[in-house]
Amino acid sequence: MQSDSRTRFIPIGLMLFALFFGAGNLIFPASMGQAAGTDVWWALLGFCITGVGLPLLTVMAVGYSGLPGVREIGNRVHPWFGVFYSTVCILAIGPCFAVPRTGTVSWEIAIVPFLEPSQLEVGMPIFLAVFLGVAGWLAASPSKLVDRVGKILTPLLVLTLLVFIIKSFITPMGEPQTPAAPYATPVMAIVQGILDGYNTLDAIAALIFASLTIGVVRDAGFTKQSDIAREVFKAALIAAPMLGVIYIFIAKIGAESVSAIGIQETGAPILALSAKLLFGNGGAMLLAAMVILACLTTAIGLISCTAAHFMNLSGGRIKYGVWVVIFTVISYLIGLFGLKTIIVSTIPVLMFLYPLCVALVILSFLHNMIGGRRCVWAWTIGFTFVMALYNGLQTAKIAMGGLEAILAQWVPLHTYGLGWIPFAVVGFVIGMIHKSLTKGPAQP
């Protein structure tokens, strides 16, 4: 083991932070801050649960499990579930949502403030073609150049944001306004903040990033499972608080911006207009350059990750480069719908994915206690799946007849969008009863 092994977790933690810190995530605390107004701190409490705490626990759970990643954890339920859930997660953080979001966030923050309204309709397709074309080209031929640029860009973006935050304290833009209806009371603000935290996609991404972190820890010379888990835990404890601090102060800027720039549709114009107001065109251009480059490195990594996953699923029959082209084109086509449409379309899918993610994380920590029995995993995930699917369909405005009234009356927390929690508990109890009445092999 290397002589600096005691402190090796520090650069690994910074690497993990850089993986999570896609510039696209900045728009969500800013948007939430505007909507939450005077209840912004309550909303942040909820936001940090799912936007910071859950990714932290997810990385720890994968490290604790001793398994390579999300597919293998899903295999504890059933191999088909492992393939299904890992693939849906990869598509969510890849071409369906996160990659198009990197392009549209770059467009909204870095380009739109400097164009005339008449140029926007023609400009966006051209910008996205160039942005995603470059990302796909670099993803098709991975090189250390991208990694090195990412290592430089992340600190620069963080430094730019710190200056942005400090300036907002020196010359605040205004006072927080009356909260919007979903944030009207502290309890409502906390719950809505929890749901807003879903949008970061960080917990879903953590299922993927954890396997990369484990690989780096092994490369650092750690071989025992207990040592690997410990180093992953320590790395996560560095990355998560850093994310939390940035989210908190970006939300503060959003809350104070309403009187100066008005209510905006998404967080991207909030950041762009706030930067312009605080620093003038020069500051806005610096933020624009940082965001474009940070989003580009994020897009490259996500396209590469998605292509590698599907190449493995196809058994290598379809080459990596072909998958890169396919997912770059898909990302471009989805990006043409615009940032607001992408965000709105993401929410139903996240309402389905997140409950299952939480259940998998908790079961990973309880795996030894339940004797590694598949029946407990299957019953818990099965019950969670039912309500997670219902929540996704409901959020997509698909009519469910009189079922909604029944669930609202009889299922605790359902009206808050958290009805999957009692369902998961019931599934876990049934699984434990099943375990006590039968014998079976332990899952790895």
**What's the pLDDT at 4?**
57
Reported confidence tier of residue 360, pLDDT bands at 50, 70, 90 = very high
**What's the pLDDT at 144?**
58
pLDDT tens figures, 39-67:
999 999 999 999 888 988 998 898 888 88
Please state which of the ranges 297-311, 334-348, 350-364 shows the lowest mean pLDDT: 297-311
pLDDT tens figures, 217-253:
877 777 788 888 888 888 888 888 888 888 999 999 9
Please state which of the ranges 3-12, 76-85, 172-181, 368-377 shows the lowest mean pLDDT: 3-12
pLDDT tens figures, 106-136:
999 889 888 888 888 889 999 999 999 999 9
Residue 257, SS3? coil
Whether the CB-CB separation of 251 and 197 falls below 8 Å is answered with no
pLDDT tens figures, 397-431:
887 777 888 888 888 888 888 889 999 999 999 99
Compute the mean pLDDT over every residue in the chain, rounded to the nearest whole number.
87
Phi, psi for 400 (deg, rounded to 5):
-115, 20
Whether the CB-CB separation of 272 and 108 falls below 8 Å is answered with yes
Whether the CB-CB separation of 304 and 142 falls below 8 Å is answered with yes
**Does residue 277 surpass a pLDDT of 80?**
yes
Q: DSSP letters along 152-183, please?
A: HHHHHHHHHHHHHHHHHHHS------PPPGGG
Helices and strands in the chain, H and E counts: 19, 0
**What's the pLDDT at 91?**
93
Burial grade of 49 (CB within 10 A; 0-12, 13-18, 19 or more)? middle
Q: What angle do CA 261, 266, 271 make, to 5 degrees?
A: 55
- Please give the Cα distance from 294 to 313 (Å, whole number): 29
Average pLDDT, stretch 81-87?
94
State both tokens at 42: 């309550």
* 16 vs 360, more confident: 360
